[in-house]
Amino acid sequence: MAKAIPRIGSRRNGRIGSRKSARRIPKGVIHVQASFNNTIVTITDVRGRVVSWSSAGTCGFKGTRRGTPFAAQTAAGNAIRTVVDQGMQRAEVMIKGPGLGRDAALRAIRRSGILLTFVRDVTPMPHNGCRPPKKRRV
């Protein structure tokens, strides 16, 4: 007969599965990806694990309105609201991409009350990148 496994503690108090809300993060990194069609805001802890994210699409904007500054502002506000509740005070900001939502997202981050240690532009720039395809015969 199989040996019984002893149970330690009780399972009555609260959920067991999700430990996400229990993790308090004083410092984090806010990544803003602003393309022409959408703006994605991802908030990670300093090790790079995603804590919260939002985009203009998930905020309910459809089509070309996702690329607007107001949509970026709303996305940044939604992403930040959850981490402020978890106790984030300081953050670094990495902004990537050429979109219209860059400044609006940064403005929303500044207004949220989080102290910004630095703001960095991490848009990838080709140092005269790939060789172009050869010209077609006319």
Structural domain includes residue 34: yes
Structural domain includes residue 15: no
CA dihedral 21, 24, 29, 34 (to 10 degrees): 30
Structural domain includes residue 134: no
Structural domain includes residue 93: yes
Structural domain includes residue 53: yes
Whole-number pLDDT of residue 64: 92
Q: Where are the beta strands (DSSP E) in the chain?
A: 27-34, 39-45, 50-55, 90-96, 115-121
As a whole number of angstroms, the distance between CA 118 and CA 29 comes to 10
Q: What is the pLDDT along the chain (138 residues), one digit of tens a residue?
A: 576 766 665 555 555 555 555 578 889 999 999 999 999 999 999 999 999 999 999 999 999 999 999 999 999 999 999 999 888 999 999 999 999 999 999 999 999 999 999 999 999 998 999 998 999 877
Structural domain includes residue 90: yes
CATH code of residue 32: 3.30.420.80
Structural domain includes residue 133: no
User: Residue 60 has which token pair?
Assistant: 């309910």
Report pLDDT digits (tens) over 8-35.
655 555 555 555 555 788 899 999 999 9
Structural domain includes residue 101: yes
Report pLDDT digits (tens) over 95-104.
999 999 999 9
**Structural domain containing residue 103:** 27-121
How many structural domains does the chain have?
1
Total number of residues shown for the chain? 138
